[in-house]
Structure 1
């Protein structure tokens, strides 16, 4: 029997090869999907690691060593054993470590308001460039930065003293207090950091700008050895063990081990703290590695929700193609099957002889498909992501038996239609079509599709289980319904054409209408076109979403992060670097409390020229909406000393108030000034505070802060003389007080400080109030958190579809106006400079020359590259491959269908030709039967694909599991669909035309 079946396969090896190829199409995606997911895991991991921030590649265990002098009166520390701390983290594979200790000291800076950071850091000499002297060798050695040496006029070989100190933040002190015995150091060398941004330095901000008596300068710690710390009389010391990824530590193959080690580390932090011999007050782990691993996990999860969708669709279509191919072959071999039945063969033998030929081909195709699936993934990964590797694994074969079983089931179902017919029916030239069976199958598929869509909706779009088959089932069900409805229309068109004498067109339509397989072939072609269109739609929507995330999500072509700097200082520095206001803009992402929408403060005078905007945004009107007319600011005299004349009356003994002034230099030449004027004494007095920033162009008065003592019942009146107007309408006061016009100044009545322990704020009205803002959608906020972390009232002046960088719901305000109402006088830690594509290459140097320190540089192209290596983009690479394979499958089905019906079509056309049918009519009937089928399938398939997209496309996580709050598209562009439709029409129409030419050549 086996020999006979193999002989049959060899005798009809052409159809067997075609069936084997179809089986390979069914099995290959079942193997390629898990193989591609393994490769996608590596691609996503490698991409995320390559684009990760520095903080996501390092970790730091930090502790505070308590004051050892309390132990028996000893002045020594008792030894800082940092190595003990390191023992707890040494298991992170591939990481390198640096151990550090740090304290604040005074003795070098001439003003005790400013400290010297005394630091010990392991192997620090290997990361410093010694510009004078030598590096650390023995106890008492000290190396300082070259700018510090120049600023303080220190030279190598000097003997200097440093004393431990702590900072006293009492408003009356605001300075470092000596708290130890002086330690003499030998100034061994002067250094320059080899690379201040090197990951070795961790997140300590050693070289971040600091303030001193001469203004802002680059941070430069003084480095010394560990033994020096042991011998120094000191209080608390900050300890750290910094680990950073060495070469290959974050490779995809090593991430599982890193994940396990990090979990053990997090679980063991408490035990490590108990085991330290330094008696720490606190011990904590700081690292961004979990965030990196979370993004990698999200990418893996996203890929696992996307990849099965095209894989299932291709398997379903391939099994349907096998069903059609085997049914067509069984139809041709009906007489052969009847003869076997008439000779008395038993039912098992009849089934084996009928299906064995097809089963052999399917099994051969299964093996070929399994190999082809893995090889295809290897090729795709090698081309798109060279160097990553596909990581072949036997687990990729776990779904191959299911796909093979589906293909075998399709063979048995196709053969069953013939085997279950009586012999008399098998001997008929034109068998009776089985309408009810076809209708039952269509109803079953429609019911499955409806159930899958319902499950998808109820499950919240979770593409698992039957949900992953929902798109394929929906499109197949729609294709079957459309094909069934088109068959009567085809027959009617054929009769109408014959009635009008158009023999060629009429024969073409009738040939299509009277063949039972035509409807199934048309359904398969439409489903194939729909699946390809669905994949194109997914790729187009995802690509458009990535472009929006890259452009609108970044906010501009390039966004520079700035070290902490005053807001007015930031605006002025950008204006000096870009005097034409064409390529740069200052911006601040305003921190908000949990639950509040993000707020973006920007220099609106430059907004239109720099920011990226969503389509249809009237961005040129935004500046006018946000920067409405405002009163002139209150400006101090141009002197190096801020002077305020103030009268106090009515305050009881021990219940006086202190007054601080918050000033901003008008030219932005320096940081804001918080001028503590001291306790307001009874009577009229003049209070002064050094303010060299105000000497050139004066300073803007932002606020007066009136705070009481720690007593209750603080009440009285202050009178401000000569600074600002006396009209109460020109001032705004917070709860606990009120303002009124006095005969010689502005009267500030302190009515109740008991309920406002933070004090009263008196501000000149120098902005529109409430502050104008533009918001997204219908969001209507009443107040937001301002730059000084206090509530700020805002009024919505306009609406935008989205706020650049912030998305929506979000708000945008003018940065200068937001700074005017801020009362903290502190530098902002979230300053940014946005650059347009026209920004010159030396823009960073220009900004640095204006006193800004650039700490980050994000380009929209960088974000686009990062998004291209995330889960959705990587997974859609598989969808693109499936889209091509589905188109090739459809073309193969056309070839197979034309070959299966060629003999019958040649007989019919030859008979009609003998009866006098013209050659032109025969030519049209032969050439255009299947091209018309293909051309009809393309537009219908595109519509079906869009219908399937409407029903299920929303569930695809094309922008990740947690999409950003941006106006992302949900529908593909028409151009991509039209291009895809034209390509499919050319492929399928050309294939059908070539098949028709072969038929025509056989007709006399």
Structure 2
């Protein structure tokens, strides 16, 4: 019997080879999913480690110990912490110690960090002199040597220092015997971001400003100097490969061991590490990959079983006469079963063996190409799923052969289809399961559990329903074409509609296209999500974090560094807005369009910037440092003394100040005080009147007759400007009016002044214009001074750069002017455009800004591409390729099986007078038409499936900010996928059609055609 089955396979070797290849691709698809997940696990870990900060790849255990005091607990050293540190596999350990010294810098506010760091010399480049050799030697930084005129061989005297406890003298004071040391050399640090340096911030900017350059020495020198509290630390940094995915459990266990040991050492021990954050991010990325990959793997495996079902069913349908003869001769049931199934089962088993190897090797090749060196290791454990895939393929084959095994001889001899007489059980079951899993997915919002199968079942249920509905339409259209005399097209349509497996073939092609289009949709949406998160989520191409400063200093420095306003913009955060508590972003709106990333489709940034910064009166400016205010008071009670203050801000970036002028005196009186920030002109932010003793009821009046400088050369605010009440604003506790000699203020506060009565210049739009996201329409926001500031919405945005879909955007200059009191900027930043010059940071530093952080949108995009969701989506590309191969293979097999019957039918029609042209069209266009309908329908079903299930996929990253992420793929991407699949499937169909036409013509010639 085996020899007979082998002979049958040889006689139909084309079908057998095609079935072997289909089985190989099907099992390879099943093996590829778990293999890819294991490879992605390694790639996720490697990608996160590669983009991790030094703190996330190292551990620092430190303790402040004072040699002059008896410390509680054990001393921090390798002897007591060593066993726990060594437990970290693949980590390098470095011992360090440091304390502050005086002797190099002349200013006692500036200390020098005196540092011992184990094996420091290989990580320094000596500019002059040499590195450390013996006790009593130090090496200093290049900038320090230049600033203090020091060179190799010089002797310097260092003294241990501690910071003064007296707040009146914020400086370092000597606290030990001086020690003379020799400068052995001057160093430069080639790689300040090297993980060896840990998280100590040795080279961060020091006060001054000056570059961070510790004084390095050996341990004996540091220890023998008379000193007090010393910071001891042990750094453990990961070497390459130490954080591979298969070592993460050991690293976690070692972290737990360090925590236990540090508790035993005693109080004062601090552990600084970002490794737990890194491990959590790796775990989240792996979990996301294990969620995303199965979403496309399930429909791919289901498609593979569908293709096996179709291929075996088509082949068995072509052998119905043979099986009828076997049944007619009364062959025993197991012989009949073997003859019916053996040919298909042997091909499937052979294909399964090849598929096991092909699936793993395919994933290894992809891993080696996409994430080389991290996910390319062969994970043969994924082959444990190969038997399951092979069994599924065998079951699909047996299901396809059920009719040939159980049908009587009369049914096997029929050539017309009988499937239409049976109820659509498969369609109904698939539809019911699709509804159940789809509802589960909608309720949970997470593609796990039953929801994992929702995308696959929805795609296949829709494909089966469309296939059942389309073929009757093709039949009616074919009959209509036949009546109109279009014989070729009519015969092509009838060949499809009357073929037993035509509906199944069409459903399979539609499902294949749907799987590929769904995969392309996910990949496209994910790529755009990453772009949105990197660009709009960052805010600009490059973000520079700035040290503590005032809004006016920030604006002035940025405008000085970028006078044309083409590449830099000052940015700060504002408090929440009113009752909605929306986060706020204040920007130099005149540069918004040139610098900021902007959500597409919303009002252009240039128009929003103009609306946020309309023309406004100029600020009230004092042109001298001796601030002078002249006031005449009338009607104020002596029992309710009041105090007058003025808040000013330098217009040249020198800072802000609250000037307390003193108690208001009866009658005319001049109040003056020297204010250094006004040396180069300053603007008046407001005049404040407060009570001294908390008196409740305040009534009276005062006239401000002069605001300016005592220096007559500098000048004062003009009388016209001062006497115009429209030029000033008082929101509560009184009213303003014009007086012959100035601005009259009538105070009326029966319940007291509270935080004070403010008189502010009108130098901003009022209410302040803001742009808000969504349906938010705030009537007020919290100003920089903490006071309620009325606003009006001038634009509705989809998203504010950096903050997302729930935020308020305002102009930083006007928000600062509207504040009544001098404030510091919250989270000050400078945003840079993509074409910012290379020396932009240097230009900003030259204006006095201290840059403490640098974030680039391109780096964020690189980090997102290394996360689990992005790496998992490469499997979607593989799924699209495999689904296309399965569809093309099934189409070839169907054409091969149909060939003999169609040759017989068309040859008979040619003998009855069918023209060559009509026969040619019937042979050429049958399957191309089917492919065209399948591609169009499949893309539509993919879009429907994506709309129902795509939103549940975590495509935007591990912790995406609230941004307007695109939910739908781009039409051009889907059009490209459709065109590619149409070219492949139609090309295969045309090639098989040409072969069929040639055979039909040969059969016609052999039958006597043309005589």
| TM-score (normalizing by structure 1) | 0.85
Is 429-438 or 46-55 further displaced after alignment?
429-438
Where 1:445 maps in the other structure, the secondary structure is helix
Contact 2:416 2:498 in 1 (8 A): no
Task: Go from structure 1 to structure 2 and tell me whether the alpha carbon gap of 1:629 and 1:182 turns closer, same or farther (over 3 Å shift).
Answer: farther
Residue in structure 1 matching 2:252, options 259, 262, 265: 259
Contact 2:416 2:499 in 1 (8 A): no
Distance 1:781 1:660 in 2: 31
Report whether the alignment pairs 1:92 with 2:68. Answer: no
Deviation at 1:432, TM superposition (A): 5.5
Where 2:536 maps in the other structure, the secondary structure is helix
| Corresponding position of 1:483 | 467
| Corresponding position of 2:593 | 608
Task: Go from structure 1 to structure 2 and tell me whether the alpha carbon gap of 1:744 and 1:731 turns closer, same or farther (over 3 Å shift).
Answer: closer
Contact 2:530 2:957 in 1 (8 A): no
Contact 2:574 2:826 in 1 (8 A): no
Contact 2:206 2:212 in 1 (8 A): yes
Distance 1:115 1:597 in 2: 41
Distance 1:77 1:224 in 2: 28
Report whether the alignment pairs 1:336 with 2:333. Answer: no
Deviation at 1:371, TM superposition (A): 0.6
| Corresponding position of 2:117 | 122
Residue in structure 2 matching 1:288, options 274, 279, 282: 274
Task: Go from structure 1 to structure 2 and tell me whether the alpha carbon gap of 1:96 and 1:408 turns closer, same or farther (over 3 Å shift).
Answer: same
Question: After the TM superposition, which residues 270-289 of structure 1 pair with which residues of structure 2 at under 5 Å, given as runs?
Answer: 272-276=262-266, 280=268, 283-289=269-275
Contact 2:427 2:461 in 1 (8 A): yes
| Corresponding position of 1:958 | 955
Residue in structure 1 matching 2:681, options 670, 682, 698: 698
Question: After the TM superposition, which residues 629-668 of structure 1 pair with which residues of structure 2 at under 5 Å, given as runs?
Answer: 629-639=615-625, 663-668=648-653
Where 1:359 maps in the other structure, the secondary structure is helix
Deviation at 1:344, TM superposition (A): 3.3
Cα distance per residue 1:966-1000 (max 9 Å; x no partner): 21111111111112212222211121111112222
Question: After the TM superposition, which residues 582-981 of structure 1 pair with which residues of structure 2 at under 5 Å, given as runs?
Answer: 582-589=566-573, 596-617=581-602, 618-639=604-625, 663-668=648-653, 670=654, 672-674=655-657, 691=676, 694-695=678-679, 697-702=680-685, 722=707, 766-769=763-766, 771-781=768-778, 794-821=791-818, 828=825, 830-981=827-978
Deviation at 1:796, TM superposition (A): 3.1
Task: Go from structure 1 to structure 2 and tell me whether the alpha carbon gap of 1:131 and 1:852 turns closer, same or farther (over 3 Å shift).
Answer: farther
Deviation at 1:373, TM superposition (A): 0.5
Where 2:60 maps in the other structure, the secondary structure is strand
Contact 1:726 1:745 in 2 (8 A): yes
Distance 1:677 1:109 in 2: 36
Contact 1:644 1:688 in 2 (8 A): no
Contact 2:39 2:379 in 1 (8 A): no
| Corresponding position of 1:440 | 425
Report whether the alignment pairs 1:529 with 2:524. Answer: no
Distance 2:235 2:726 in 1: 55
Question: After the TM superposition, which residues 39-118 of structure 1 pair with which residues of structure 2 at under 5 Å, given as runs?
Answer: 39-64=39-64, 81=76, 87=82, 89-99=85-95, 114-118=109-113
| Corresponding position of 2:337 | 351
Contact 1:494 1:506 in 2 (8 A): yes
Report whether the alignment pairs 1:321 with 2:307. Answer: yes
Distance 2:824 2:683 in 1: 16
Structure 1 gaps of 5+ residues are none
Distance 1:153 1:652 in 2: 63
| TM-score (normalizing by structure 2) | 0.85
Deviation at 1:789, TM superposition (A): 7.3
Structure 2 gaps of 5+ residues are 709-716, 1005-1011
Is 101-110 or 829-838 further displaced after alignment?
101-110
| Corresponding position of 1:520 | 504
| Corresponding position of 1:19 | 19
Contact 2:729 2:736 in 1 (8 A): no
| Corresponding position of 2:714 | none
Is 779-788 or 285-294 further displaced after alignment?
779-788
Deviation at 1:369, TM superposition (A): 0.8
Where 2:945 maps in the other structure, the secondary structure is helix
Deviation at 1:134, TM superposition (A): 7.6
Task: Go from structure 1 to structure 2 and tell me whether the alpha carbon gap of 1:707 and 1:177 turns closer, same or farther (over 3 Å shift).
Answer: farther
Deviation at 1:704, TM superposition (A): 8.0
Cα distance per residue 1:46-105 (max 9 Å; x no partner): 222222334433343455558966x6xxxx999975557854545434444555556667
Contact 1:102 1:117 in 2 (8 A): no
Report whether the alignment pairs 1:505 with 2:498. Answer: no
Root mean square deviation, CA, Å? 4.4
Contact 2:15 2:896 in 1 (8 A): no
Task: Go from structure 1 to structure 2 and tell me whether the alpha carbon gap of 1:66 and 1:602 turns closer, same or farther (over 3 Å shift).
Answer: farther
Task: Go from structure 1 to structure 2 and tell me whether the alpha carbon gap of 1:926 and 1:248 turns closer, same or farther (over 3 Å shift).
Answer: closer
Distance 1:117 1:826 in 2: 32
Report whether the alignment pairs 1:466 with 2:450. Answer: yes
Cα distance per residue 1:906-930 (max 9 Å; x no partner): 1111111111111211111122122
Contact 1:714 1:750 in 2 (8 A): no
Cα distance per residue 1:391-426 (max 9 Å; x no partner): 222331232222222111111111111111112322
Residue in structure 1 matching 2:540, options 547, 556, 567: 556
Is 255-264 or 743-752 further displaced after alignment?
743-752
Distance 1:706 1:109 in 2: 45
Is 77-86 or 974-983 further displaced after alignment?
77-86
Distance 1:24 1:940 in 2: 27
Residue in structure 2 matching 1:245, options 238, 243, 266: 238
Where 1:830 maps in the other structure, the secondary structure is strand
Contact 1:560 1:855 in 2 (8 A): yes
Distance 1:651 1:129 in 2: 74
Is 140-149 or 568-577 further displaced after alignment?
140-149
Task: Go from structure 1 to structure 2 and tell me whether the alpha carbon gap of 1:22 and 1:103 turns closer, same or farther (over 3 Å shift).
Answer: same
Deviation at 1:433, TM superposition (A): 0.5
Distance 1:67 1:815 in 2: 51
Contact 1:105 1:165 in 2 (8 A): no
Contact 1:539 1:876 in 2 (8 A): yes
Distance 1:901 1:90 in 2: 70
